[in-house]
Amino acid sequence: MIDYRIKSVERFAGRIGELASMLDHTRAVTLEEVKDLNDYELDYLVDEGSNTIGSLLLHIASIEFVHQIISFENRDLHKEELKKWQTALELGSKARTQIRKNGVEYYLYELAQVREQTLRTFEHFTEEWLFEERVWDNGTPYNNYYLWFHVLEDEINHRGQIRAIKRWIAANHK
């Protein structure tokens, strides 16, 4: 059952617990949306420029992974990490051809693995870590709280795309 309350998860410090609650809720709604999808639905392309539901799910996992690296390790992805995640990060034509023929279990597993690492690592930070400021190469300041807000907003945005694709399939392939 999905919990519709934002509350502090006790195993985390202060607002990190609230952030974990928001991440949990966002993911629970996404999982409910996709848990019963079949391979056809996961690989369906609305048009030649769209993304599949499967590629969007892997993109959600990849965005979280990248934000782990940036916020937990204060670095960019190395070559091996890029090899695994770059196609899902960038989406587009390469994703349309390479991210296919995976059952829903594959995507659920990838999402779960990345999230498990996020929550395990959150346990080691204080609330102050959320507000630690850094500066992008272009001079724009940011903090860890923003990075994790972006993880949330990205998943919610792509869940909207997933819902639209599901409606398209239902309307056009009865």
CA 23 to chain centre: 10
**Going by C-beta distance under 8 Å and a sequence separation of 6 or more, which residues neighbour residue 101?**
39, 43
The whole-model pTM stands at 0.95
pLDDT for residue 174: 59
**How many Å is the maximal CA-CA distance in the chain?**
52
pLDDT band at 173 (very low <50, low <70, confident <90, very high): confident
Per-residue pLDDT at 4 exceeds 90: no
12 touches 5 (CB < 8 A):
no
The percentage of the chain sitting over the pLDDT mark of 90, rounded to a whole number, equals 91
CA distances for 32 relative to 26, 90, 127, 146, angstroms: 10, 25, 30, 26
- Rounded average pLDDT over 132-139: 94
Radius of gyration of the chain (CA): 17
Tokens of 114: 């990345």
pLDDT of residue 9: 87
- Please state at what angle helix 79-90 crosses helix 53-73, rounded to 10 degrees: 140
11: confidence class by pLDDT, cuts 50, 70, 90: very high
Residue ranges and CATH numbers for the domains of the chain are 48-172 (1.20.120.450)
For 36-85, the pLDDT digits (tens) are: 999 999 999 999 999 999 999 999 999 999 999 999 999 999 999 999 99
Indicate the pLDDT class of residue 2, thresholds 50, 70 and 90: confident
Cα–Cα dist 117/114, whole Å: 5
pLDDT at position 157 is: 97
138-156 pLDDT, tens per residue? 999 999 999 999 999 999 9
